[in-house]
Each structure stands twice: as C-alpha cells, then as structure tokens.
Chain A
C-alpha cells in the first residue's frame, strides 16, 4: 500500500453487496443439533432445499430434524390455502417426530408473496398444541450467521418470564439431577462459591463442550450463569425477568441483543467477544466489572495460553491476512490475529452493527495501536470482484474466504482458508484459542510443506483484454 499517513481511527466503507455468502437458512443445520427437541421447517422453494442439501453434506443423511415445506405453483398463486397446507405438514411432523417446538423459517419467497407466517403461527399453535416459532431468515435481508440471530430473537420472546411454583420444583429437580444426588449441604456449599450478583443469561448457540468451558470460566470468577439462550432443549429455555443481565457470545447477534433489551428489559453487557485469549479475558473482565467483582488470575491465564500458542504464532507473525467477509466473525478474528502479530489490510463484513460490536471495535483499534499495526479498512457489503483485484495488488499471505473463491485463489498461488470452518469449529474461550490458530495456520503449514516443488501458480496466465 502507498498510504504514507496511517489513519487515526478505523475507516468504514460500503461497497455494492455483490459478495458470496451462505443463505441464512443454513442456521438450521447447527440449531437443530443444538436444540434437541426442535424441528425446523423451512418454507421455501427447491432452491432453498437444494442449498441446504448441498451445504450440509453428509448431515442430510442422518435423518435430520428439519425439512422443506416446498412451495408449488399453487401456493405462489394462492390457489392453495397457506393455513391448511401448513397445518397438514405440521400435523405430519407432529405425528412422525413429535417435537417440542416447530420453528418456521421464512424465506425470500414467503417474503415476496407476503405469507403472514407470524399471523398464522399462533392460530395453528393453539390448534395443534405445539409451539411454533417464526424466524424470517431470508436472503433478501440477511447473510449467513444472521440466520441464527433471527431465530434466537424469536426464541427470546418465548423465554419464561418468571419461574412458576410448580416448575420450580421441576427445575430444581433438574439441578438435583445435575448435582448427581450430592447432599444438600454440598449443593449449598457450591452456591456459596458464587458472588451475590444479579442473574446473568448468555445468548448465542455454541456446542455443549464450549458452553461447559465458558460456564466454568465464569465460575472461577464467582459468577453464576443462570441460563443460556438457546438451551439444549426448547423446554429448558432460561427464565428472563426484567432487570436480568445478558451478554452475547457472537458478533452476529444484534437483533437478539436488541430484543432482549427492548422487549425483555434486560441489561446488555457490551463486551468484546470471547474469541482468542485476549477476547476471552476482555469478555470476562467486562462481566466482572459490571458486577463489581475483581477478576482473579486472568492475566496469568491469558499469558499461559499465549505461551502455549507460540509455535503457531511463529508461523504467522509479520504475515498479512485479508478477510473477504461472509460470516460476521471477521472483526473478532482480525483483532485476535493482529494480536498474534499479523497485519490486516482489509476486513470485509456483510453487516456492521457499530453499537452491538462497539467494545469489539474499540478493542480492535487498541490492539492495532499496541501492536503497531496499521488500522484495517472495514468494508461493509463488499464487492467480491473488486476485492479480488485488491488481493492481486496486495498479495496477502492469507485470504480468509468462502469456498467459491478458495480454489481459484489457491491455483493462483494465494493461501486461503475457508471461512465457514470458523463458524463450525470451536473457537470460543481460552481453551479453544489453539483451534483458531490450527485453522489459520493450516494452509501455511501445508504450503510450507510443498514450497520447494515450484507448483505455486497452477493456472495459465490469463490474457487481459
């Protein structure tokens, strides 16, 4: 780059939005696994079905708890009655699978033909006796991971307001089960390990092991996690009362955050996200500070994690990374990688909520200053064609990109990492920092292994007209 003067603050640009990403309905693939008693019904066309079928690879063969309600010409032209059709399918689902909740995923088509899913759901719900949650996760409005956001925002409305007396017994019953029949005193003793702070509910769908890890991480600080949105089962959605504190785990959950604040009157703890040891520490520190707790041992813990990462960091220190942008994890990942000693000329991102990601953006800026790295350009709604021209110009050491561009870039001698892996891998908390670097360094390690073969450029020079 020829920029002689480095900008003082982060710069934000917006391009054409001609970029490649997954359709937000892809969220069903991880949410149906997370919420074990759910059934996801995607109301759309063959196009949606074809995408799901291909994007999920082998998962589709494992009798998934999701299906398409495939719209036919009669549905589009309103020859058929939406309510009757949906009732027929939902009854079939109830009969075959008997789920505790059916989640309707609205798509582009239901938007365009203005099918009133929110209106139909409560009626049908009372008729068939299964809760129906409506999420409009369509490609007209959202990108990829934002699909989860629309589902969780809809779920937030379903969280019980307060614990009913009858249910209290049941819930403590579960607690008892979790404490594996330990004596009451022991459980009480366990309770006393926590500070007395207002209830905290965390939101964001994470694999169960990561949920355990982060819960334990907070337990070390004496902070009790009262519940997770989503929980393992729909029937275990956490109680959310007015005045509860909530904190997000992922950068793409802005609608859920808004819903929790506005509809459920919760207080949002705005923190960087627990991605990388730096992010994890900042996340815990922020929660501690909100509750007036002095964090213990975090600095040593972070230091120790960094020491364990050193072998991987050596591979990337001083190298550059370019994010084409498709899953909204980009800011947090860039911040972590800059802390690892990388530089980052450009962060592409589908959508940038500067309020929800405020703390993360500040941390990014601070990290750049501390590491003496130039501040990256943040490109919202990027244009993939332009980005590729910039990639050719900048020749970054690593491009994090979707699969549509990965092979063509590799063939042109540019290292790439497939961005979608970051959404499916376990990347949160101190424990999983190594997994992020495992992903980031993999192309570099592989290409190091091959570097003496002289097989870098595997396409014939394109004639430029």
Chain B
C-alpha cells in the first residue's frame, strides 16, 4: 500500500479510453463498477465535447460478483453494436475487472459472432502500466489489428504515395494542446511539400488504418504515445519513423533536417535549409526574442521544470539552450521511461529528478527557490503557496489548459507561444518582487463606500460569526443588505434571525 494524495498519470483504462474515443466511430465498453465512467465527465468538461463520449460501462455490481458478468458483457457489446453501429468496440478492463479474472477474451469472441462491427479486448494490465503506457499499447494494438485484417483480406494497398507523405501518430483526446499541435504540424508539412497521409488516433477512421503503409515515413511528436505503433510499422513495412519532438527552434530545425534526410533517402530531392533559416530568423519571433533585451534580463535566472517526458525535456532544452536560463533541476513522472529523459536533458540542467510523488517535487521546489516553475497544475499550486510563478507545460491539467484560441506548443508558432509563456512567467515574478520592495500597490484596504463604516447597528456575536462565514467577496454586500433591512424595520440589533430574514427578503 502507498499513501497517495495525488497522481500524475491516471490508471491504465484512461489511456485505452483516450485512444479509443479519439477514433471516429469507435466505442469503448468498460467492464467497471458504477461511477468508473468518470472519463466521460472529463472529456465532456475539459474538451467541451459537443458529442456524447463513445464510452459506456458494463456495470459490475453485486450480482456480477455472484454470477460472473458473462451474459451482461456480451449483451452490452451486442446492444451497443445495434444502437450505434460502431466500426469497432473496444472492451476495456479496469482495476476491478483485473481482479475478477474473468475470461474477457472469451466474451469478446462470443460477442463478435453477433456483432456487425469488430470487437477487441484492450490488452492492458492495470497493476503494471499507467495511462500513458496503456494508451501507447492500445494504439499499437488497434493499428496491428486492422493491418492484419487488411492483409488477410488482401486489401492492403501496394506501394507508397506518389509524393513524399507522412503519418502523424499520437495526437489524442485529452492530450495537452494536442489539437493545436496537430494543426501546426499539418501546416508545417504543407510548407515542406509533404502530404499528410493519416493522422491517428484523433479523428481517424479505423477503415483508413490500412493506408498507413503508404506513407514515406511516420512522425511521432510525443514520446508517450505513438512510438509503439511506429515501431510496429517499421518492423512490418520498413517505414522509418522520426521521434524528434519539433518543440523549440533548435528541435524543430533538427526534426525538419531529419525529415529531409529520410525523404531524400527514398528518392526525393529536397533541401529545407533555406526554409529553416527563413522561419528561424524572420517568421518565428523566438530566435529574435532570445537576442532581445527582454530575454537578456532572464540570463542566469533559476527555473525548475517538471512534467511528462516530451514536454519537460523540450522545455528544459528551450530554457537552457535558447534563452540562457539556469535550469536547476528538470524532472519527469514517466518513471518507466526515465533513461530516455536523463539522456535528453542531463547536459541542460544541474540535476535530474525522477519521481511520481508530488510531495517530493514540492520539497525540491521549495529547496531551490527558483524564479519560475514550469510544470503541471500541481506545480502551479506549489508555486502559489510559495509565491513563485508557474507556467503549465504538461498534463495533469485543468479546463484552462484547453484554450479555445490557437496555442500550439509545436512548430514555429509553438516557439512563439512558448516564448510568451516563459517571458510572462518571469516578468510576473519580477513585478511582484518589485512591488514588494516598493511597498506594494497603493493600499490593500480600499476605503469602503458602504454605509457600514459608520454603522449605528449592533451585530450580535453569533451574527457576526455567521457573517464571517460568508465568502469574502460577497460579505460586504450581505452586510449592507442586512443593515438596510434592519434599518427599514427599525431593528436595532442584528441577530442571526434578522440576518436570515434579510436574506429571504432580498433574495440574495
């Protein structure tokens, strides 16, 4: 047992659900007790989805414990197949079903007999993998399933596309700024004259998966999701994949150069150097920003970075290499992939921190007292407590991290967004600091306009205590309304009763 208050990566089934519900017309059925369909709430709230989340639960209750859920799961799959005619139903095990050890594989086979769509069991072990690993695995599983299916039916298209083309693998629902990144990457590919063959899983149809081998190469922008699928495609079709995250000016250039190398090796003849140069010096503002006086002021400022592998590694490199900021430590919660992270960032920070324990991260922040933090929502709150500004760069995230406006982290527009994020975090901290030195804003105690200042009314102790329970931002209003009420009725002393009578009378 582990005493835990907070976790960075969710349980395995969340990863599976993220992948399944990113596809078009794929439905996931969770084998789970009542209340475990919380994923639907998150998707509906965070992503502000207009459509119903294609996830239902086959509810595990007492009866299921007694009898087994056999018929129930099969019935639920067949029913969903009829109701929504999905292309694929993914039966998703949860922590509860893991311990029940029912033969879910068998249910899937039986349901497949009656279902028109395909049925599949997500192959993830709840106690061994987390959300990110499960997502990676499920994506590979689905890709493999449809490639093999097409092979069997002889429907696998021959050869590559005429022009250089790419599959973008790993864009998914509830991913940090994934939608914006995807748009930016497509734009980048268009600039480079590369066709986008498929984007998976977000918005993709499973019927199109058989087209994946037609791409000249695969791009996996996120370290956490998509690499397994890309490796499978490489081993099966020899399609090379590029796993350089185009985040930051230098890394974007490196990614583009790698693309150049890969497509030229397959007979294209492209030279992107001029494009990189032009973008870097004149289109993206980030390189100029690094050179500007603003950024000079950031030189040697201390920062810490924490997040998932992709974003924490990229941000560390941007801060250290592109802005001259001193990254005291950089960390990740992707413990299972810690070696990769160490290798990526060790030369750009003093220390590497690998941990899933938010307490440990909080302590490490308090210890080094950085001028700014770049982390998850958890680090933002640590920052609040310590009065250190924080830019959010990775999940876990809240609704404000699903902006409606265009805010990619990748590509050249992404470099602009990151420059803003970094600069705003630091200047806010500076402003605060200066204010403190010069005695703060004018005065905190604004002279109240209310009649309450020279009140002729007595508040009983109970009532006063009650008034203090009212949230600060409306307390003044409640006080004024109550006193007005009392005055109108000629009540001299305000007791609890008077307070509530006033509330009822004015309806506030």
Contacts and interface: CB of A to CB of B under 8 A. Distances in A.
A267 B4 CA distance: 41
A222 B466 CA distance: 22
Interface stretch (A139-147, A163-171, A358-366): A139-147
A388 B52 CA distance: 11
A54 interface: yes
Contacts of A93: 3
A115 to B, nearest CB: 11
Interface stretch (B42-50, B135-143, B218-226): B42-50
15 contacts: A24-B35, A46-B130, A50-B11, A50-B38, A67-B5, A68-B5, A80-B1, A108-B33, A112-B65, A112-B96, A113-B99, A139-B36, A140-B34, A430-B504, A434-B507
A61 interface: yes
Contacts of B396: 53
B469 A209 contact: yes
Interface in A436-465: 458-459, 465
Contacts of B51: 408, 411, 459
B1 A17 contact: no
Contact of A139 (B35, B99, B126, B130): B35
B5 A60 contact: yes
B85 interface: yes
B503 A47 contact: no
A323 to B, nearest CB: 18
Given A209-B466, A405-B52, A61 B381 contact: yes
Contacts of B384: 61
Interface string B1-17: 11111110011011000
A407 interface: yes
Interface string A54-74: 110100110010011111110
B45 A140 contact: no
B45 A407 contact: yes
Given A109-B96, A138-B33, A465-B85, A18 B1 contact: no
Nearest to B59: A17
A407 B48 contact: yes
A20 interface: yes
A140 B5 contact: no
B386 interface: no
Nearest to B48: A407
B340 interface: no
Contacts of B96: 47, 108-109, 112
Interface string B123-153: 0001110100000000000000000000000
A88 B497 CA distance: 49
Q: How large is the interface on B (under 10, 10 to 19, 20 to 34, 35 or more residues)?
A: 35 or more
A400 to B, nearest CB: 15
B1 A72 contact: yes
Contacts of B461: 180
Given A113-B99, A408-B50, A64 B11 contact: no
Contacts, number: 181
Contacts of B94: 47
A208 interface: yes
A459 B50 contact: yes
A154 to B, nearest CB: 19
A116 interface: no
A25 B36 CA distance: 11
B49 A407 contact: yes
Interface of B: 1-7, 10-11, 13-14, 32-38, 40-42, 44-45, 48-53, 56-62, 65, 76, 83, 85, 94-96, 99-100, 126-128, 130, 378, 381, 384, 396, 398, 461, 466, 469, 496-497, 500, 503-505, 507
A89 interface: yes
Nearest to A112: B99
Contacts of B497: 216
Given A54-B38, A208-B469, A385-B83, A17 B3 contact: no
B1 A47 contact: no
A402 B44 CA distance: 10
Contacts of A138: 33
A408 B57 CA distance: 18
B54 to A, nearest CB: 11
Interface residues of A, number: 77
A86 B3 CA distance: 10
Contacts of B44: 403-408
A64 B6 CA distance: 11
Given A404-B44, A407-B45, A411-B50, A70 B35 contact: no
B49 A408 contact: yes
A76 B85 contact: no
A212 interface: yes
Contacts of A64: 5
Interface in A303-323: 304-305, 308-309
A186 B507 CA distance: 33
Contacts of B49: 407-408
**3 shortest interchain CB distances as A-B pairs:** A23-B35, A139-B33, A404-B40
Contacts of B130: 46
A142 B391 CA distance: 40
Contacts of A49: 4, 6-7
A407 B50 contact: yes
A431 interface: yes
A321 B334 CA distance: 47
A326 to B, nearest CB: 10
B65 A140 contact: yes
Nearest to A301: B504
Which residue, of B396, B466, B507, has the highest number of chain A Cβ atoms within 10 A? Answer: B507
Given A73-B127, A403-B44, A23 B100 contact: no
A50 B504 contact: no
A355 B81 CA distance: 39
A180 B465 CA distance: 12
Contacts of B61: 17, 140-141
Which residue, of B37, B57, B62, B505, has the highest number of chain A Cβ atoms within 10 A? Answer: B37
Interface in A19-45: 19-25, 43, 45
Interface in A74-119: 75-76, 80, 85-86, 88-89, 92-93, 108-109, 111-113
Nearest to A96: B3
A12 interface: no
A45 B381 contact: no
Contacts of A195: none
Contacts of B45: 403, 407
A392 interface: no
A261 to B, nearest CB: 24
A385 B61 CA distance: 19
Which residue, of B1, B7, B461, B504, has the highest number of chain A Cβ atoms within 10 A? Answer: B1
Interface in A119-175: 138-144
A387 interface: no
Contacts of B65: 111-112, 140
A19 to B, nearest CB: 8
